[in-house]
């Protein structure tokens, strides 16, 4: 028996996993789980990964149904890439505070102020915003996406200000305008938390997601020599996993949503992985519970649909995203 993950009585994870896999097979469904999902869901999924890896799998999966254990924009992206497949999310209320920081109307108004600019949108956006976008990116390939745009072309980058600042720093791009959006979970991991942890753990490595409010601070600490540059790494969630497999550090401090720790600890049992902020929990990601996943496989709810005209306009920007870069670190 495992801990009670359903909010009800005792939870038999082995029996539950067996039921979930059997129901998925009956439905011809593949279960995809983001790295921030609860451990039980990561363990039962057919594939676990970051936004880019999961988009790529969604585009090529042979199954007729995709069950997306993540947040709504991720399931929408799968639907945009595979319009003829059924895409299910176990709870359609699983939104994203970052995706909510820009609407299609706001983006249209911004574009009108910068005619001729190329719009780069982070994948954490609604389908309607993607339909107004030239090329999407994830934290895995944002640097490569920006580098793929001719140097003399203006760029509108939305909606994450911290990822935007990171990409600007790495590419040295001056003609890039950045939308001032943020994710409440990552913005809450701030420079103060990071400084305190670094002071307490001077030998630890640092893995920092570029959405974090502390990403800029991490690079500042590195450039000031307060933390050694070679031990400070700005990484997507997939990049963190690659780095975890090869690190020889005794301890790694991890600045991202705490669901990530499950995969890191599985990938490397010799190193201690500790969160920079234990309260960095995405309530939207955690809406996908084991109980809701099983229920979704039984009932086929909640189905994710994207209106055809929006999906058709959004597809090019998403296809460009999955064609660029490998699921590797965004810059170290």
- Positions touching ligand 13P (CB under 6 A) are 50-51, 124, 138-139, 183, 186, 211, 236-237
Phi, psi torsion values for 127, nearest 5 degrees: -60, -35
- Residue 25 C-beta: closest distance to ligand SF4, Å: 29
Residues β-bridged to residue 122: 137
Under the binding rule (CB under 6 A), the answer on residue 96 touching ligand SF4 is yes
Whole-number Å distance between alpha carbons of 2 and 12 = 6
77 binds, among ligand SF4, ligand 13P, none (CB under 5 to 8 A by kind): none
Under the binding rule (CB under 6 A), the answer on residue 234 touching ligand SF4 is no
Phi, psi torsion values for 306, nearest 5 degrees: -125, 125
CB-wise, 295 or 328, nearer to ligand 13P?
328
Instruction: Answer whether 134's CB lies under 8 Å from 155's CB.
Output: no
Under the binding rule (CB under 6 A), the answer on residue 149 touching ligand SF4 is no
Per rule CB under 6 A, count of chain residues that contact ligand SF4? 12
236 binds, among ligand SF4, ligand 13P, none (CB under 5 to 8 A by kind): ligand 13P
Under the binding rule (CB under 6 A), the answer on residue 212 touching ligand SF4 is no
Q: What number of other Cβ atoms are within 10 A of residue 19's Cβ?
A: 15
- Residue 53 C-beta: closest distance to ligand 13P, Å: 8
Under the binding rule (CB under 6 A), the answer on residue 185 touching ligand SF4 is yes
Task: Tell me whether strands 272-275 and 232-234 are parallel, antiparallel or unpaired.
Answer: unpaired
Task: Tell me whether strands 251-255 and 272-275 are parallel, antiparallel or unpaired.
Answer: parallel
- Residue 185 C-beta: closest distance to ligand SF4, Å: 4
**The two structure tokens encoding residue 171:** 């590419």
Continuous segment of H or E residues that includes residue 70: none
**The two structure tokens encoding residue 200:** 């307490």
Matching residue, tokens 């505070």: 97
The helix/strand/coil state of 205 is strand
Applying CB under 6 A, which of residues 121, 124, 125, 263 lies at the interface with ligand SF4? 124
101 binds, among ligand SF4, ligand 13P, none (CB under 5 to 8 A by kind): none
Under the binding rule (CB under 6 A), the answer on residue 285 touching ligand SF4 is yes
Q: What is the binding site for ligand SF4 (CB under 6 A)?
A: 71, 96-98, 124, 183, 185-186, 257, 282, 284-285
């Amino acid at each position: 028996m495992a801990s009670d993950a359903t909010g009800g009585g005792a939870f038999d994870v082995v029996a539950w996993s067996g039921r979930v896999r059997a129901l998925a097979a009956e439905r011809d469904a593949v279960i995809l789980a983001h790295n921030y999902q609860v451990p039980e869901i990561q363990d039962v999924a057919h594939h676990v990964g970051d936004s880019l890896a999961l988009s790529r799998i969604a585009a090529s999966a042979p199954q007729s149904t995709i069950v997306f254990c993540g947040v709504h924009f991720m399931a929408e992206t799968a639907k945009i890439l595979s319009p003829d497949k059924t895409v299910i999310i176990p709870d359609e209320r699983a939104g994203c505070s970052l995706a909510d920081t820009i609407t299609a109307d706001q983006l249209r108004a911004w574009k009108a102020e910068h005619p001729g600019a190329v719009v780069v949108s982070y994948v954490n956006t609604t389908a309607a915003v993607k339909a107004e976008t030239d090329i999407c990116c994830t934290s895995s390939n944002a640097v490569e996406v920006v580098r793929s745009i001719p140097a003399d072309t203006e760029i509108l980058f939305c909606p994450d200000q911290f990822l935007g600042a990171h990409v600007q720093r790495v590419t040295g791009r001056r003609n890039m305008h950045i939308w001032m959006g943020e994710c409440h979970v990552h913005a809450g991991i701030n420079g103060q938390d990071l400084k305190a942890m670094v002071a307490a753990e001077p030998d630890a490595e640092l893995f920092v997601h570029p959405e974090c409010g502390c990403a800029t601070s991490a690079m500042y600490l590195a450039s000031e020599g307060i933390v050694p540059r070679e031990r400070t790494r700005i990484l997507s969630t997939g990049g963190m996993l690659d780095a975890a497999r090869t690190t020889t550090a005794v301890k790694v401090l991890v600045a991202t949503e705490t669901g990530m720790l499950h995969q890191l600890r599985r990938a490397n049992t010799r190193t201690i992985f500790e969160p920079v902020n234990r309260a960095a929990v995405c309530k939207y990601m955690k809406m996908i519970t084991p109980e809701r996943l099983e229920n979704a496989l039984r009932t086929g709810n909640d189905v994710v649909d994207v209106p055809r005209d929006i999906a058709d306009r959004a597809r090019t920007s998403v296809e460009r995203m999955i064609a660029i870069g490998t699921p590797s670190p965004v810059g170290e």
